[in-house]
Structure 1
Amino acid sequence: MFLQKETPLANAAFWAARRGNLTLLKLLLNSGRVDVDCRDSYGTTLLMVAAYAGHIDCVKELVLQGADINLQRESGTTALFFAAQQGHDDVVRFLFRFGASTEFRTKDGGTALLAASQYGHMQVVDTLLKHGANIHDQLYDGATALFLAAQGGYLDVIRLLLSSGAKVNQPRQDGTAPLWIASQMGHSEAVRVMLLRGAERDAARKDGTTALLKAANEGYNDVIEELLKFSPSLGILKNGTSALHAAVLSGNIKTVALLLEAGADPSLRNKANKLPAELTKNERILRLLRSKEGHRKS
């Protein structure tokens, strides 16, 4: 932990950097009584604070007065990370002019590229990639920039990352692929884009669940319609159940109808030996299931 003494003048400088008060910041720095790289108890510097807030004039002043651009906070974050996280592309570009590095990591493995992708800052992602950021960066749990963008449904970022060489099927350590997380979150356009770019429609997490099963469980019919265009598995999955079972359990009538129309078999039993019809008392859903069963028998 950083045990630097926090003086009243240093606290005033942090306030000025946070608020974008360039006049006060310059006055304090020029007094010779505030170190340009002074830190708070967490290792935060004036430059990090100004970069986070997007105050480009304060950032420029601090850098020109000799601030160390690549210092890391206790958590591992740098000024570049904060600027990227908050979407301040002008700050990011300026920091690169003075030697900012994309390689520093936070305690969970985060980088500036991962942060920008997670919050959907397409222009910042583009700038970072053009300055050497590694598109294959991963958090320590295996989440990639594409995974984080897919989680947020940020289409522009997803398209940029895919066109820059991101692996559409790169899973997290628990087996969760970008398509799976986008489906769980209900981002149908993101699902469509990734399917068109080669995402494996039936890729399963370690728990055996697929994108279709998660969408069925949540009742995300727009996602289901996109997935059904690519003929995903409608049978019993490795986890012992089917998307139809999940849809019946969720109680979403339209979801059940979509799956039945696509050919889901209502006579399949799950690992508990239950038919989909045995998982609900909803009469409309039961009528749908019986109707389909009747068509199959005939």
Structure 2
Amino acid sequence: MSFKKETPLANAVFWAARKGNLALLQLLLNSGRVDADCRDSYGTTALMVASYSGHYDCVKELIMQGADINYQRERCTNSAALTLNVFLLLSNTLVILVRPCVFMWQDGGTALTVASQYGHSKVVDTLLKNGANVHDQLNDGATPLFLAAQEGHVTVIRQLLSSGAKVNQAREDGTAPLWMAAQMGHSEVVKVLLLRGADRDADRQDGSTALFKAALKGHNGVIEELLKFSPSLGLLKNGSTALHAAVMSGNLQSVLLLLGANADPTLPNKNSELPADLTKNDRILKVLRPKILNGHS
């Protein structure tokens, strides 16, 4: 794949999009000497830069000027060092001041994936209303919804779901948006996803579920939200239970929440270990052992 060669005017467009300088962006695009779809050597467009930066007015201007809203980066690189030049128009003279600016882009990214990841809800709204593909995927399968869930952007998540995003669409490694939100401790995101039909027991390739990961991390708010939807408390495909994970985390409140939901402390993992075998924490052992002796022996 070949990209359009970078030019001083194209770099000026990037700078204006990055800084939110709408007047300069309009001046450059209206000159007829630079394309709204100009790209750097990594395939990054000005629309992506404006979306990343959250500059709503610049995003609208680029779309109005014909920028390709669904253009997707394809070059195989995990990061692109984009060196931008700062341009000032002084009495029809173009003055160039070189300043480096580094952006981190992921392969397969679009303006919508970038705006979703950084929580720019007004930009997301504009992109969706102008035909952005809500089912865009990075090369690893991550969708805009997945990226918003990872970063905890509730408003963006609601926008994407209302536009038809698939709540259970997983990344290539089997990680669903709910699992990722649970790992990151975003309890409000977990609540929204569950209410919109997220599979509470969806597991990754490693066999862990959202509840297991939340228990392992000690994210009690997430555990509380998940327990409202009666997730599995039994043995998972990874050969363990959420209670084992909570005990390993050392978080007493996580253990109490799961015991209160009737998690079984006498259920062994694949190594024939009870949850109580995985800790030396006296406070946790004190709540586990009466359950073993009195209710599950």
| Correspondence 1:78-89 to 2 at 5 A | 78-89=45-56
- Choose between structure 1 and 2: higher strand proportion: 2
For 1:101 and 1:204, how far apart are their aligned partners in 2?
Answer: 36
Equivalent position of 1:149 in the other structure: 148
Deviation at 1:39, TM superposition (A): 4.7
Contact 2:4 2:41 survives alignment (8 Å): no
Superposition pairs of residues 111-260 of structure 1, within 5 angstroms: 111-260=110-259
Distance 2:197 2:290 in 1: 35
Q: Which amino acid aligns with 1:72?
A: R
Higher-Rg member (1/2): 1
Q: CA RMSD in A?
A: 1.7
> What is the one-letter code of the residue matched to 1:63?
L
TM-score, normalised via structure 1 length: 0.85
Structure 1 position 62, deviation (Å): 0.7
**Cα drift, residue 260 of structure 1:** 0.6
CA distance in 2, matches of 1:174, 1:273: 28
Work out the percentage of aligned pairs sharing the same amino acid: 60
Decide which of 61, 69, 72 is 1:102's aligned counterpart. 69
After the TM superposition, which parts of structure 1 deviate over 2 Å for at least 4 consecutive aligned residues?
A: 1-4
Q: Post-superposition shift, 1:3? A: 12
Shift of 1:53: 1.3
In the alignment, structure 2 segments of 5+ residues that lack a partner are: 76-106
**Structure-2-length-normalised TM-score:** 0.85
The unaligned stretches of length 5 or more in structure 1 are 5-36
Q: Give me the whole-angstrom Cα distance separating, in 2, the residues matched to 1:295 and 1:90.
A: 65
Higher relative contact order (CA 8 A, sep 6+): 2
Q: What whole-Å deviation, never above 9, does each CA across 1:213-263 have from its counterpart, x for those lacking one? A: 110000000000000000000011001111111111110000001001101
> How far apart are residue 278 of structure 1 and its match?
0.6
Which of 37, 48, 54 is the matching residue for 2:20?
54
Aligned pair partner of 2:7 in 18, 38, 45: 38
Q: Hey, which of these two has a bigger chunk of helix by percent?
A: 1
- One-letter amino acid matched to 2:195: L
C-alpha contact 1:154 1:190 (8 A) present in aligned 2: yes
Alignment partners' CA distance in 1, 2:38 and 2:138 = 20
Q: Answer whether contact 1:77 1:104 (CA < 8 A) is retained.
A: no
Q: Provide the aligned length of Structure 1 versus Structure 2.
A: 263
- Kept in 1: contact 2:3–2:39 (CA 8 A): no
